[in-house]
Amino acid sequence: MKILYPTRFVLLSLCFIAITHASEESPIDTDINVQGFGGLINVPSAKSIQYGEFYFSYSDLSEYDADPDIPKSSFYRKGNIFTVSASPFPGVEATVRNSGEYMGGYSDLQANLKYQATFIPREWFDVAVGYQDIGGITNHLDSVFIVFGKDWNNFRFTAGTGQFKSTRKMIAKRYEGGFYGVQYQPFDWLQFQVENDGVNNAAAVKFKTPTAWFDDQMQLYGSLIKGDYDDGTEENNLYFQLGIRANLFQGFSSKLDSQNYKTQQLGNTFGAFLSDRDYGSYIPEDIDYTRSKYYDDNVVAITSLKDILVEHGFEDVWVGAHNNRLFLRLENSLYTRNPLDALGVILGITSSKAPGYISDIDVTFSRYGIPNLRLSVGSAELNDFYEGRSVDPLMRALTPVTRDEVLADWVGANNTPWLKPRVTFSPVLTSFIGTEIGQADISMSMRSQLNVPLWTGAEVTAGYDINISNSDDYDLGRSLWKFRRGSGLKSLVLNQTYQFPYDIYLTGSAGWVKERYNEEHNLAALQATWQSNNGQHRLSYHYGYLDSDLPERPDRIIFSGEYRHYYRLSIPVSMSKQVNIGEVIGESSLVFPCI
């Protein structure tokens, strides 16, 4: 039974509440919905999420091909929807969405894009266009839409239309024929939603936590959803969505719903195109470093130290000082096999060049602008270590932060790593030892790996192999010829890394890989990592979707979780224990734990 009449009742009730609260203007929040767009439940809104926001959400409201034995409205069932969304530029939403019926079954990886016309003044109305499931293959949800919206007091009205590219009949063609919805938000923490997505009617109530609970860097939200979604039992199930809203930016004045220097920079550059909302104005704290009694000495010391580190070969070098504390920030592209070698060189140079009044040295390593290691050490302890009076300089691990979050007077070099290609060469082996075929069979190639940093957190990588040598069993027609290391391009991948509060890092990857015979895939991957400051605990999750480029070859889904615990013993020996659990879904399933 459809909920058409309850939906009308809810609409009338909301209109009555709006009249009684017309004087209480409150902004209408825009959060990522079940389909992976800023919007209501399934309906996208004409408003995009805010620039620099990041969302991760889960919902059990999943869509599948319709069953002929189930009524025509049955396009949703209980399942699993995981969504990752971000706004890399004002008005733009980019989403990766994974939908499936159950964890061990098949799933569909989708990419969505939406753009809100930010050049339309906010006093007028809002317009957005979107593309769902770009190139849709598995669930055939690829569709385009245009949507209009208008905010009035505590209400937001949304209406639009769209078109499905798939001609399959058993598809919920949500946007075709028009869709509409209404949102009402009486409080910051509460929002009501009703919609028709072109196929089904639905209503939802959404709750949000105060941003102050997480230092204004993160917010949790959840929705309870009720609709005429018949799953074959002729019962209207209750569904839900849970989500996390966070900020991609870190530093001073980078809290949720606040303006910072990044938005102001965009406003200054693209002001005529950013009229959809108030981007505000960022006024940095006025700090007069010249009042410090060490100001003149600091300028001379940090400039000299900066020049030495640049001459040594470090990149993106910044040296700062505030009172008795010295700060160093740099990219290590020299000692890539062991960052501790770079740390030893940097601290050795600093201990010999730092002024005598410096009591503390703070060093931060970055990878393409993303800080990933920060250590602090006392100047006296460091001098004792280098002069042989102690065996441990007692370094302290701190949370890596951006330079904008450190109050200091800085000097920096213009030797950024962007668009500087780096090539490394390494041997790659495939070997079979002690088999019934032979005692030792080896196929060897030389790999050239190209890395090009693009922008903050982003790089493109490419790998090319040249076969050098093979044992006889790798010859064409022999037992191991399928495992022979071939010559040619092996990978072309774009990686983007983000840093989040609470020491969380997220990396997304997309590209093409070919490592084995008869294995050639388009790749989409996600890696999330958390590590405690002292390095004792580390959690990570890896997910990969491999879409085969070859006919009649299976797609693959790979995911694994990892926990590592580090032990520091009283004797001069350290050890760690690591647990990995994962699964590969393709031609067969495999669970592999190891310790």
Average the pLDDT over 521-546 and give the result. 85
Model pLDDT, residue 277: 63
In a domain, 283, yes or no: no
Average the pLDDT over 88-104 and give the result. 78
- 237 and 151 within one domain: yes
Model pLDDT, residue 494: 92
- 137 and 17 within one domain: yes
- 221 and 102 within one domain: yes
Task: Give, rounded to a whole angstrom, the gap between the first and last alpha carbons of the chain.
Answer: 53
Give dist(CA 382, CA 350) in Å, integer: 10
Model pLDDT, residue 170: 58
- 531 and 464 within one domain: no
Which of 273, 301, 328 is the endpoint of a domain? Answer: 273
- Which range is least confidently modeled, 146-160, 232-246, 252-266, 438-452? 252-266
DSSP 387-430: TTS-S----EE-----GGGS-SEEEE-S---TT--EEEEEEEEE
- 251 and 187 within one domain: yes
Confidence of residue 462 (pLDDT cuts 50, 70, 90): very high
Give dist(CA 136, CA 108) in Å, integer: 9
Do 3 and 226 form a contact (C-beta atoms < 8 A)? yes
In a domain, 403, yes or no: no
Confidence of residue 45 (pLDDT cuts 50, 70, 90): very high
In a domain, 404, yes or no: no
- 439 and 341 within one domain: no
The region, left, alpha or beta by phi > 0 then psi within -120 to 50, assigned to residue 208 is beta
Q: Helix 379-386 to helix 339-353 angle, to the nearest 10 degrees?
A: 100
Do 530 and 503 form a contact (C-beta atoms < 8 A)? yes
Which of 474, 496, 518 is the endpoint of a domain? Answer: 496
- 337 and 429 within one domain: no
In a domain, 410, yes or no: no
Structural tokens at position 559: 């995911």
Model pLDDT, residue 584: 47
Do 214 and 501 form a contact (C-beta atoms < 8 A)? yes
CA distances in angstroms from 517 to 393, 436, 481, 485, 520, listed in the order given: 51, 22, 9, 9, 8
- 591 and 452 within one domain: no
- 336 and 194 within one domain: no
- 179 and 158 within one domain: yes
Give the CATH number for residue 20: 2.40.160.40
Model pLDDT, residue 172: 67
Model pLDDT, residue 408: 78
Max CA pair span of the chain: 85
Higher pLDDT, 75 or 12: 75
In a domain, 409, yes or no: no
Return the number of other C-beta atoms located less than 10 Å from residue 426's C-beta.
10
In a domain, 189, yes or no: yes
- List pLDDT tens digits, range 161-208: 988 776 665 566 778 888 999 999 988 889 999 998 888 888 999 999
Q: Give kind and range of the element (H or E) at residue 383.
A: helix 379-386
- Which range is least confidently modeled, 35-49, 275-289, 301-315? 275-289
- 266 and 179 within one domain: yes
Average the pLDDT over 507-527 and give the result. 86
Give dist(CA 441, CA 169) in Å, integer: 53
In a domain, 284, yes or no: no
Higher pLDDT, 595 or 42: 42
The residue segments making up the domain with residue 173 are 4-273
Model pLDDT, residue 574: 47
- Which range is least confidently modeled, 38-42, 371-375, 376-380, 549-553? 549-553
Model pLDDT, residue 158: 92
Which of 441, 471, 496 is the endpoint of a domain? Answer: 496
Please determine, for residue 126, whether its predicted confidence score (pLDDT) is greater than 80: yes
Please determine, for residue 536, whether its predicted confidence score (pLDDT) is greater than 80: no
The structural domain count of the chain equals 4
Please determine, for residue 252, whether its predicted confidence score (pLDDT) is greater than 50: no
Q: Give kind and range of the element (H or E) at residue 465.
A: strand 458-470
Q: Look-up: residue for tokens 């693209």?
A: 270
- 304 and 225 within one domain: no
In a domain, 558, yes or no: yes
